[in-house]
Amino acid sequence: MKFSPRVDELIKALQCLPGVGPRSAQRMTFQLLERDRVAGTRLGEALSRAMSDVGHCQDCRTFTEQTRCPICDNPRRAEKGQLCVVESPADLLAIESSGQYDGRYFVLMGHLSPLDGIGPDDIGLDVLDRMLAEGPWQEIILATNPTVEGDATAQYIADMARQREIRVSRIAHGVPVGGELGYVDGTTLALSFSGRRDI
Amino acid sequence: MKFSPRVDELIKALQCLPGVGPRSAQRMTFQLLERDRVAGTRLGEALSRAMSDVGHCQDCRTFTEQTRCPICDNPRRAEKGQLCVVESPADLLAIESSGQYDGRYFVLMGHLSPLDGIGPDDIGLDVLDRMLAEGPWQEIILATNPTVEGDATAQYIADMARQREIRVSRIAHGVPVGGELGYVDGTTLALSFSGRRDI
Ligand SMILES: [Zn+2]
Ligand SMILES: [Zn+2]
């Protein structure tokens, strides 16, 4: 025991958060106790509710409190037969915000990473394969991250889709619009060059 | 709404923590939901319990779930008639860890800061004055931080103690100017205690 049991318990529990060590956990605990118990109580309730109520959409696997998320539940989203595969709910949100896509999604909640023991079933590719079989799909759009793991995952899913004779595409990677060439990293520039098209 | 209501609620609630913005709140939420719901639930419970159960010791004002903290409740701590005044529970803990002091404490939970509207009563100096009156005290040791506010607070309390003809000292040697007491090692604190002078 360092402080009192309840205070020590909170300092320890806060360290489950990424990037929070003993020092910042102590600072957080003192700040909540001294200045904002209402917010602290609200956070406690939000945590309990989210941990118990939030599950995954039975179709696309994104986070939701319902059986199916609002996108999968919207029949207009299925009209074009497009399925966009992303790594995380944050990626889904970014694409939604762009307003450029109105099809359905499949959220992997990660990527293939054999070294970490993360195989196809761990990122729901068994579920995705059943979904591909149930179709009809016009196009599978692979929007995994342009990293070694994201590329390998995209390749794996592309093979799955081709076996079912479904068209597969990968979103283009390159220099962002408005970006300055001199500030773009080498990997992005390499992708930008290899993905060049005749004009 | 960005994600689902419960997820959005948690991302928002996490931003009450110092140093946590929208990006890290989202990262924390996803990590807990995907990898450690047990820890997330435990944190929720720890928060609720701490916010409702932790109060202040009726004597020294440090955090405790009891009416009086274990130090104030220990009659041997009162034997020498020494009272050490610190700014925070972390400072009390640092001094305890040094093993150089076995008297009682008074925790201000802050320091005088007229510009922020923090006056004597806000840091419990009314309670401290009653405590000084009730004595008997042999010595009041001022261990506030060596900052402008900490020094001003020490000066204010020194005047209070002198009016009651109680000896007052200020820890001096070893604590680096501008440093925070809670971050100083035990050896430095030991020097600081042995080198204290009457003021
Ligand atoms: Zn869905
Ligand atoms: Zn106490």
Residue written as tokens 């450690």? B36
Centre a 10 Å sphere on the Cβ of residue B123 and count the other Cβ atoms it contains.
25
Same domain, B101 and B166: yes
Output b/e per residue, A42-55; b: 16+ Cβ within 10 A: bbbbbbbbbbeebe
Alpha-carbon distance of A166 to A128, in angstroms, equals 13
- Quick check: B178 pLDDT over 80? no
Based on the fold, state whether residues A44 and A86 are members of the same structural domain: no
Torsion from C-alpha of B40, B44, B49, B52, nearest 10 degrees: 160
Q: Do B125 and B166 belong to one domain?
A: yes
| Contact between residue B141 and residue B83 where contact means Cβ atoms under 8 Å apart | yes
For residue B118, what pLDDT band results from cuts at 50, 70 and 90?
very high
Of A42, A52, A88, the CB nearest to B30: A88
Residue B184 has pLDDT above 80, yes or no: no
B196 compared with A126, residue with greater pLDDT: A126
Clarify whether residues B39 and B86 are in a common domain. no
Q: Which of A168, A170, A175, A171 is nearest to A192 (CA)?
A: A175
Q: What is the DSSP string of chain B?
A: --S-HHHHHHHHHHTTSTT--HHHHHHHHHHHHHH-HHHHHHHHHHHHHHHHH-EE-TTT--EESSSS-TTTT-GGGGTT-EEEEESSHHHHHHHHHHT---SEEEE-SS--BGGGTB-GGGGTHHHHHHHHHH---SEEEE---SSHHHHHHHHHHHHHHHHTT-EEEE--SSSPTT--GGGS-HHHHHHHHHT-EE-
Give the mean pLDDT of A10-30: 95
CATH number, residue B164: 3.40.1360.10
Does the residue A43 lie in any domain? Answer: yes
B61-106 pLDDT, tens digit each: 999 999 999 999 999 999 999 999 999 998 998 888 888 899 999 9
C-alpha A136, offset from chain centre: 25
Contact A41, B48 (CB under 8 A): yes
Q: Of B53, B71, B88, which residue is a domain's last?
A: B53
Angle at B38 between CA A63 and CA A36, to 5 degrees: 85
As a whole number of angstroms, the distance between CA B145 and CA B88 comes to: 10
* Residue closest to B83 by CA, chosen among B106, B108, B109, B99: B106
Q: Residue B175's closest CA among B167, B163, B185?
A: B185
| pTM as predicted | 0.81
**Predicted pLDDT of residue A176:** 76
Domain count, chain A: 2
Same domain, residue pair B137 and B91: yes
Within a domain: A199: no
CB contact under 8 A, B64 and A4: yes
Long-range contacts formed by B120-124: CB under 8 A, 24+ apart: B120/B156, B123/B153, B124/B61
| Collapsed DSSP state (helix, strand, coil) of residue A38 | helix
Residue with tokens 């039975």: A58
Same domain? For B84 and B124 the reply is yes
A34: in domain:
yes
ipTM score for this prediction: 0.82
User: Which residues hold their Cβ within 5 A of ligand 2, which is an ion?
Assistant: B 57, 59-60, 69, 72
Domain-embedded: residue B68: no
Query: Which chain B residues are within 8 Å of A12, Cβ to Cβ?
Result: 46
Q: Which of B10, B14, B17, B65 to mutate to test the interface with A (most CBs of A within 10 A)?
A: B17
Q: Which of A1, A12, A38, A3 is nearest to B56 (CA)?
A: A3
Residue B111 lies in a domain: yes
Provide the residue range defining the domain that includes B26.
5-53
| Band of residue A1 on the pLDDT scale cut at 50, 70, 90 | low
A9:B69 CB<8 A: no
pLDDT at A43 over 70: yes
A43 vs B88: CB contact, 8 Å cut-off? no
In a domain, A139, yes or no: yes
